[in-house]
Amino acid sequence: MTIEPGQRLPEARFLELGPEGPVEVPSEALFKGRRVAVFAVPGAFTPTCSNAHLPSFVKAAGELSEKGVDEIVCIASNDPFVMRAWGEATGALEAGIRMLTDPDGAFVRALGLDFSAPPAGLFNRAKRFSMLVEDGELKVLNVEDNPGQAVCSTGEVLVDMI
């Protein structure tokens, strides 16, 4: 069952690459008392993710901040080393986007937003989506019908919805 606006996000543990190595980031610390824009991608360095989805949030970062978003978070099931490298290569880190990993896909599975595409080597990945979370409650959710497209889940669309 897919999470719906008005519901609370499940507890989760993400990973982020810190100065000394991978650091655990509990969902409560990420969302409690905060307004957070989250977008998830099937995989770092993949074409649609790198050429359309992530750049849309880099471009929309200022407008999201102006609309009261405390932080923008990108989630993928890659390891934290890959997420850091992808954030550096795309300018996402410089734009203030936090690059987190859902290593085994537990978070997206709990949301009902996971998929696998064995022919492409993708297992337990996030569907392409964006959401606005306020104090741990889902307010807005945009999920792409096709993981190879970034149409309804872009940064610009999220800006227009909040």
- Hey, which residues are catalytic here? 49
Query: Quick one: residue 126, left, alpha or beta (phi over 0 = left, psi -120 to 50 = alpha)?
Result: beta
User: What is d(CA 56, CA 51) in angstroms, rounded to the nearest whole number?
Assistant: 9
Q: Specify the length of the chain in residues.
A: 162
Q: How many of the other CB atoms lie within 10 Å of CB of 75?
A: 22
What sign does the dihedral 138-142-148-154 (CA atoms) show? negative
User: Which residues, at least 6 apart from 85, have a Cβ–Cβ distance to it below 8 Å?
Assistant: 44
SS (H, E, C) 14-26: EEEEECCEEEEEE
User: What is d(CA 47, CA 54) in angstroms, rounded to the nearest whole number?
Assistant: 10
